[in-house]
Amino acid sequence: MADFIRAFPLAAAVPALEQAPRMEVDIVETDQGYRLKADVPGANRKNITVIVDGNTVTIRAQVEKEEAVENRRMLVTERVVGELVRSFTLPHEIDESRAEAAVVDGVLVLTLPRRTGTRVEVRHGAEGKLARAPAAAPAAAGTSAAIVNLKINGSDYPLKLESRVTLLDALREYAHLYGTKKGCDQGQCGACTVHVNGRRVLSCLTLAMQAEGQQVVTIEGLATDGTLHAMQEAFIRHDALQCGYCTPGQIMSAIACIAEGHAGSDADIREYMSGNLCRCGTYTNIVAAVREMAGATASRQGQTS
């Protein structure tokens, strides 16, 4: 038995819930093996354990649930911690060394490659149903929620979203990446600026579904191994922020501004940073930070060319 997701330890033994919330599960057969999606209410990375044993997959999720209880003759709602356990038997043994998992907004997505050369007797239990993957999955044609596969800062985020969810709301409310800020939510302030395929765009006027299959980079994706991006360091050095709310958007915009070649002069920087408003009025220091980084980029290019 291999507990292959060691990043998801079970905190402690907890009682099974008497009236457990349902764990909605869908299993699809793929070329490589199986993809399992489980809608686990209240789940996060810390409270799910997945155990693979041959052709059996077990999901143990510690969940919270609200229950009405009587307390001093008043009916109050209390949060109850319990455990959901579901077990699935698949037609093939799973190669747990290549299995992958992600949990986003309560949707657990398991990629379960089959171990080659194995075929075992299928015992359909009451658990999840097996279905063959459609030849070409059509883009969400209906108005109901669909799984949207976003690539954010190099990681996959399969999110269950309605069509109307903007990239901004997907980042903040579904992927739980709160660095990107919502200011005006109508394309006037620039606080929500992110990079899509290397270009700076406003995530508040982009549908999450438009961003499917594209490379999204947010402020969280800039630091590497705990070291801030040089532009983040420059903003700190030049005190280019006061309250900080517009700063993630300013920094994403500033990096793109230099990459586009629009930081050749202070006038250029002001023109091409004009889509990012700062109510604290730190523009002078923002220009100084961008100017310094533009100079550093230019001298670095001069050395290498």
Partner 1 sequence: MKNFAYSRAESVPDAMMATASHTGARFLAGGTTMLDLMKCGVEEPTALVDITFLPGLDGIETGPDSVRIGALARMSDVANHPVISRDFPALSESMWRGASEQLRNMATIGGNLMQRTRCNYFRDPSYAACNKRDPGSGCAALDGINRGHAVLGTSDHCIATYPGDFAVALVAFDAMVHVRSAQSHSIPAADFFLLPEDRPHLEHPIAPGELIVGIEIPISGALRRSHYLKVRDRESYEFAVASAAVGIEFEADGRTVRDLRVAMGGVATKPWRARQVEAALNGRPLDEPTVRSASKLATDGAVSHGANGFKIELAQRVVARALMTIGGIK
253 contributes a contact to partner 1 by CB under 8 A: yes
CB atoms within 10 A of CB 225: 4
- Nearest residue (CB) to partner 1, 206 versus 218: 206
Name the minimum Å distance from CB 109 to partner 1.
21
What strand order describes the sheet that includes 199-202? 155-161, 146-152, 215-217, 193-196, 199-202
Cβ-in-10-Å burial (0-12, 13-18, 19+) of 205 comes to: middle
262 contributes a contact to partner 1 by CB under 8 A: yes
Q: Pattern 126-165, binding to partner 1, x per CB under 8 A? A: ------------xxxxxx------------------xxx-
Number of H helices, E strands in the chain: 5, 13
Residue with structure tokens 């043994």? 93
266 contributes a contact to partner 1 by CB under 8 A: no
- Nearest residue (CB) to partner 1, 52 versus 150: 150
Binning the chain into helix, strand and coil, the percentages to the nearest 5 are 25, 30, 45
- Nearest residue (CB) to partner 1, 63 versus 217: 217
- Nearest residue (CB) to partner 1, 117 versus 142: 142
Q: Pattern 188-217, binding to partner 1, x per CB under 8 A? A: --x--x-----xxxx--xxx-xx-------
How many residues sit in the footprint of partner 1 (CB under 8 A)? 35
Residues 85, 115, 152: CA angle, nearest 5 degrees: 65
173 contributes a contact to partner 1 by CB under 8 A: no
CB of 92 closer than 8 Å to CB of 114: yes
Q: Where along the sequence are the contacts to partner 1 (CB under 8 A)?
A: 138-143, 162-164, 166, 185-187, 190, 193, 199-202, 205-207, 209-210, 253, 256-257, 260, 262, 270-272, 274-276
